[in-house]
Amino acid sequence: MKIVVLLVVFSCICSSIIAAVSYDDKALIINGRRRILMSGSIHYPRSTPEMWPDLIKKAKDGGLDVIQTYVFWNGHEPSPGKIENEYGPVEWDTGAPGKAYSKWAAQMADGLKTGVPWIMCKQEEAPDPMKKAPTTQKKMTPVGTFKWQSYNEEAPSSEESDTLAMIGLYEQLNVTRDVSDYLWYLAEVDISPNEHFFTNGQFPVLTVMSAGHALHVFINDQLAGTVWGSLKNPKLTFSQNVKLRAGVNKISMLSVSVGLANVGTHFENYNVGILGPITLKGLNEGTRDLTKQQWSYKTTFNAPEGNEPLALDMNGMGKGQIWVNGEGVGRYWPANKAHGNCDKCSYTGIYNENKCNRYCGDPSQRW
């Protein structure tokens, strides 16, 4: 069960006030008055604890009254698999056993006696004592001390030490066993010096079909391009001209699983990674099928040398999070470009999201 907790921010981080807070089916009621509150979302596992005070302060300074956050139950459950995430679709598939499970989950949540509204995501029919609504709420008392668990993962290099070589393409999760979200697909392609593209300038087209979710393609250690899927369609295709040289060429492809498939039954049957076909079109022979040649696979990463501080420029990447030597240093999203009117800044009047825009045209969260 993914649970949403609404935290009302009434004052700055260093002080507090007392207010009578309740709610009905229309609104939150603060000191007897219905209030329309501006809410924003902060997902605590997607930032480090040291970042939280600054994030909360920025949220308040930006005009928010409420911070909404998920309780990521997989980080708090007593044992793995105790609670399913967003169980509604599973309930539809399983019928009566699923409804019995949902009833138990609702009673368990109600028994915690916290004091803030809870929302059961993707639950059209919420069992008692929850309200029956597409998103349901229940009043509870403050939660006790949480035990935090950190998750560390590094991105591997494409160096060919510690690789596994096999004929043909293998599904990503079958190789990584879900220990890593990353898998390198490595191969070598021999190109004759007599190929016509060396004289006519029409470099061959490399086409790679993947089950998702993101793919970075390197030719001879140079980035050739990046493609990624979407929530509705995680599958993707890379297809573009690639600059090859006479002799042996190294193709390195980093496949990334970013959790685009996030709800439903039988996740164990969902495919991830490069399944093919992989073709190279535009050679003297026509189209060469690379799918069934020898590929090497690597999931581990080489540690960087030296002890000097590092600054990471993620401008060539899409969206994600960064760990350095096991320490989370934040997220990056340079694929999202800031846009709008950056000429004026005034928060007077009714707030809207277009006020006080900055850095128009620049990538978001680059460093």
Q: Is residue 250 part of a domain?
A: yes
Q: The domain containing residue 66 runs over which residues?
A: 3-120
CB atoms within 10 A of CB 320: 16
Contact 276, 171 (CB under 8 A): no
CA 266 vs CA 87, 93, 176, 213, 263: distances in Å: 12, 10, 18, 18, 10
pLDDT mean across residues, the chain = 76
Q: What is the pLDDT of residues 316-359, one digit of tens each?
A: 666 676 766 666 777 777 777 777 777 778 878 887 777 777 77
Among 42-51, 111-120, 247-256, the range with the most confident prediction by mean pLDDT is 247-256
User: The domain spanning residue 236 has which CATH number?
Assistant: 2.60.120.260
- Are 269 and 356 within one domain? no
The predicted structure's pLDDT at residue 81: 59
The torsion angles phi and psi of 262, rounded to 5 degrees, stand at: -120, 5
Residue position matching structure tokens 């490595």: 186
Tell me, yes or no, whether 278 and 358 share the same domain. Answer: no
Tell me the percentage of the chain whose pLDDT exceeds 90: 24
Number of domains in the chain: 3
- Does 204 lie in the same domain as 168? yes
DSSP letter, residue 191: E
Based on the fold, state whether residues 171 and 294 are members of the same structural domain: yes
Per DSSP bridges, beta strands 118-120 and 3-8 are antiparallel
String of DSSP letters for 176-212: HTTS-SEEEEEEEEEE-TT-THHHH--PPEEEEEESS
| Helix, strand or coil, per DSSP, at residue 163 | coil
Residue 26 within any structural domain of the chain: yes
pLDDT range class, residue 117, cuts 50, 70, 90: low
What's the pLDDT band for 206 if we cut at 50, 70, 90? very high
Average pLDDT, integer, range 176-182: 80
| Highest mean pLDDT of the ranges 80-89, 212-221, 358-367 | 212-221
User: Beta partners for 289?
Assistant: 279
CA angle 189, 192, 193 (to 5 degrees): 130
Q: Please tell me the distance from the alpha carbon of residue 15 to that of residue 44, in angstroms, as a whole number.
A: 21
- Summarize the confidence of residues 172-198 as an average pLDDT: 89
Domain's final residue, options 84, 103, 120: 120
| CA-to-CA dists, residue 282 to 39, 217, 219, angstroms | 54, 18, 16
Residue 225 lies in a domain: yes
Please tell me which residue, 94 or 79, carries the higher pLDDT value: 94
**Final residue before a domain boundary, out of 87, 120, 153:** 120
pLDDT of 164 above 50: yes
Residues 108 and 8 placed together within one structural domain of the fold: yes
- Most confident stretch, 81-90, 139-148, 314-323: 314-323
Assigned domain for 315 exists: no
Residue 19 corresponds to which tokens in the numbers above?
């207010």
Instruction: Identify the sign of the CA torsion 92, 138, 41, 48.
Output: negative
Distance between CA atoms of 188 and 203, rounded to whole angstroms? 17
Within a domain: residue 233?
yes
At 196, the pLDDT band (50, 70, 90 cuts) reads very high
Instruction: Answer with the residue of higher pLDDT: 320 or 57.
Output: 57
- Reduced to 3 states (helix: H, G, I; strand: E, B; else coil), residue 59 is helix
Segment 172-199 mean pLDDT: 89
My answer on whether 260 and 332 are in the same domain is no
Query: Is the pLDDT score of 197 beyond 90?
Result: yes
99 and 222, same domain (yes or no): no
Which range, 22-26, 47-51, 196-200, 253-257, is most confident? 196-200
User: For residue 66, what pLDDT is reported?
Assistant: 86
Higher pLDDT, 173 or 290: 290
**Is residue 141 one of the residues assigned to a domain?**
no
- The reported pLDDT for the residue numbered 312 is 73
Look up residue 3 and give its two tokens. 């649970």
Residues 128-139: pLDDT tens digits? Answer: 555 443 333 333
pLDDT at 175 over 60: yes
Q: Cα–Cα distance between 250 and 227 in angstroms, integer?
A: 19
> Do 335 and 280 lie in a common domain?
no
130 in a domain, yes or no?
Answer: no
- For the segment 6-12, the average pLDDT, to the nearest whole number, is 46
Are residue 173 and residue 275 in the same domain, yes or no?
yes
Check: CB of residue 38 under 8 Å from CB of residue 62: no
At residue 55, does pLDDT exceed 80?
yes
Looking at residue 142, what DSSP letter applies?
P
> What pLDDT shows up at residue 305?
74
For the stretch 275-316, pLDDT in tens is: 999 999 999 999 999 999 988 887 665 656 777 766 777 776
Burial 142-171 (b: 16+ CB within 10 A, else e): eeeeeeeeeeeebebbbeeeeeeeeeebbe
Q: Are residues 246 and 206 in the same domain?
A: yes
> Do 280 and 222 have their domain in common?
yes
User: Which of 277, 297, 273, 294 lies closest to 171 in space, CA to CA?
Assistant: 273
What's the helix, strand, coil split of the chain in %, to 5? Answer: 15, 30, 55
Structural contact between residues 184 and 302, judged by C-beta atoms closer than 8 angstroms: no
In a domain, 126, yes or no: no
Contact 110, 138 (CB under 8 A): yes
The verdict on 176 and 284 lying in the same domain is yes
